[in-house]
Each structure stands twice: as structure tokens, then as C-alpha cells.
Amino acid sequence: MYYFKRILALVPLLLVISLLAFVLVRVAPGGPFDKERAPASPEVERALKAKYRLDQPLWKQYVLYLGDLARGDLGPSMKYRHHSVGDIIKQALPATLMLGCLSFGFALGVGIPLGFATAARKGQWVDYGGSLLALVGICVPAFVIGPLLVMSFAIKLKWFPVALWGSPLNAVLPTLALGLFYSGRIARLMREGMLGVLGEPYIMTARAKGLTERVVLFKHALRPAILPVISYAGPMLADLLTGSFVIENLFQIPGIGVFMVTSSQNKDYPMVVGLVLLYALLLLVLNLAVDFLYSRLDPQVKYE
């Protein structure tokens, strides 16, 4: 019942978000039909505006948009004249989802063990080395890591292609470039979570009972320590699943991350609103999933 209510609450939230996006993108200076070449007559611009309903009052445009939205139509792209926003998202989303899932797996697969190990060996070289690694992952941005990876593994060593998409080999470098930052964040969250838990009295009790360190760490510490990672994992997955402009641009991946940036530069109004809605929906749903997971993992958490 609780989750049903939460899902219902998404609807007004998404409406508010769509309204904001709809209005803000139109308020920004410059329009979709401002081009280097001036239109041959005001008639051309009028025809275009009429075609995309930009000649109507704003409230009416929005109401019509909502009507289309209810039918699952996100409207036409004003930049790519023969594609609808739905078309573009349908075509571009799979690549982004794939890359996002791979990076998500990479971030968790590297971050959790790394954070766990640095906490378990606190103050030893594993801790210093691992923490430094995590810090590097966080501090060096993707637009530095990406070209470095390309230079070393694609151009020098020729192990992987430099860019493009289609074969598993194509996915390796972008997954690393995109996932490193997140694996660093996860490692640090995991380490802090573990250290917090390891100071709890019940851990001392467990040790006093004479349990092996292995059982203490894995059986008693891991589960509560992973909670901060899980609450971060939701928004992180939303971020990853909506793509990265830097990575998609550098590796020429046909995903939606690029459109997240170019659509607002192009003043492609329906595209911007469509993508904002997609991002918002993902974020809200994943946050809901996080809350759900919390209640499963931590018996103290109960939602009414």
C-alpha cells in the first residue's frame, strides 16, 4: 500500500517537472529556428512556428503537449526534422543503458571489494594504496581519464578500438572511463560504512564471543555497512542510465547522453522536455527502489 501511494505521488511530481522544463527552455534566449542563414521571409518562420505550435499561447502549447504525452507521444524533434523525440530516445537509449549497466556493474564490482578491503585492513598498506586509488578515481575527471585510456590501450597497445560502438571490445574503455569515478565514490562510502559499523558495540561482542574475524566482517559488519552504498547506488544508476556527454562524445557512442547537452544548445524544446522527463522518471523510480531495498536489508527501517 505504501509503495502504491509513492507510485501515485510520482504523477504530480512529473507534471511539475515537465511544466518547469517546458517553460524554462522557452524562456531561455535564442530559438530553435535561429540559423546562420536568415529565413527567406517571415513567412517561412511563421510556417515553422505554426507547424510546431509555437505560435500558440504558452499554456495552450503545454496543454496540447500533455495531451500528446498521455498518448505516449513526446512530440517531434525541432532539430532533426524527420525524427520524433520518441524515435530518437528509442534508438539511442539501448546504447546508453548498456554502457550504464556495465559501468554500474564495474563501479560496484570494484568499489565494494575495494572499500571493504581498505576498511578491514585499516592503517595497513592495503588501506593506503586502495584509498589512494579511490581518491584518484574521484578526482580525475572523465575527460582526462578517457583520452588517457584511449591513448594507452587503443592507440599505443591497440588492444581496443579507439571509438564507435557495436562489439564487446568497443565497450571496455568507455565502461572504465565512466565507471572509475563511481567506483571511487563507492569504495569510499563502503570504507566509511564499514569503519562505522566496526566501532559498534555489537561487533565487539561478536569478537568477544570468539568469532573469527572472517565471520565478524562478512556476517555481521557487511550487511549494515552496505546501506550507504545502496542509497547512493539509486541516483548513481539514474545518472549512468541517462548517459554521459563527455564519454559518449569521446567514444562516439550513439546514446542519449549527447542529446542531454546538445538538445538544449539547439533549443530543441520537445527533446529537452522529453529527456528531462526521462531522467526524472528514472531518478524517482530508482529512489523508490532504494527505499524498498533498505526495508529488506535493515530490519529497523519500516515505512508506513
End-to-end CA distance of the chain: 9
Residue range at the interface with other proteins (CB under 8 A); choices 15-23, 150-158, 204-212, 283-291: 150-158
With CB under 8 A as the contact rule, the residue among 8, 12, 81, 125 that binds other proteins is 81
- Here the cell at position 235 is 541516483
As measured in angstroms, the least distance from the Cβ of 97 to other proteins is 10
Cell numbers found for residue 228: 550507504
DSSP state of 40: S
Q: Is-contact 269 34, C-beta < 8 A?
A: no
List the grid coordinates of 3. Answer: 509503495
Applying the rule CB under 8 A, the residues between 176 and 195 that interact with other proteins are: none
Binders in 95-134 for other proteins, by CB under 8 A: 98, 101-102, 105-106, 108-109, 112-113, 116
How far is Cα of residue 273 from the mean position of the Cα atoms in its chain?
Answer: 17
Min separation Cβ 30 and other proteins, Å: 3
Instruction: Name residues contacting other proteins, limited to 1-40 (CB under 8 A).
Output: 28-32, 34-40
Report yes or no: 9 and 1 within 8 Å, Cβ to Cβ.
Answer: no
C-alpha grid cell, residue 257: 547522453
* Binding segment (CB under 8 A) for other proteins, from list 60-68, 127-135, 165-173, 233-241: 165-173
> In the complex with other proteins, which residue's Cβ is closer, 17 or 267?
267
Based on the shown chain and the rule CB under 8 A, indicate whether residue 79 belongs to the binding site for other proteins.
yes
Read off the C-alpha cell for 296: 529488506
Closest among 147, 225, 250, 229 to 182, alpha carbons compared: 229
The Cα–Cα gap between 255 and 249 comes to: 9
Do residues 95 and 259 make contact, with C-beta atoms less than 8 angstroms apart?
no
**How many residues of this chain interact with other proteins, rule: CB under 8 A?**
68
Q: Quickly tell me which residue has 522518471 as its cell.
A: 281
How far apart are alpha carbons 296 and 26 in whole angstroms? 44
Stretch that binds other proteins, among 126-134, 159-167, 186-194, 201-209 (CB under 8 A): 159-167
Separation between Cα atoms, residue 88 and residue 85, nearest integer Å: 5
Among 13, 44, 66, 301, binds other proteins (CB under 8 A): 44
Which residue among 94, 124, 212, 303 contacts other proteins (CB under 8 A)? 94
Q: Which is nearer to other proteins, 92 or 178 (CB)?
A: 92
User: Looking only at residues 248 through 287 of this chain, which bind other proteins when binding is defined by CB under 8 A?
Assistant: 249-252, 254-255, 258-259, 265-267
CA 41 to chain centre: 43
Q: How far is CA 132 from CA 125, 135, 184, in A?
A: 10, 5, 9
199 near other proteins, judged by CB under 8 A = no
Q: Is the Cβ of residue 60 or residue 223 nearer to other proteins in the bound state?
A: 223
Q: Interface residues with other proteins (CB under 8 A)?
A: 28-32, 34-41, 43-44, 46-48, 51, 79-83, 87-88, 91-92, 94, 98, 101-102, 105-106, 108-109, 112-113, 116, 147, 150, 154-155, 158, 161-168, 170-171, 218-219, 222, 249-252, 254-255, 258-259, 265-267
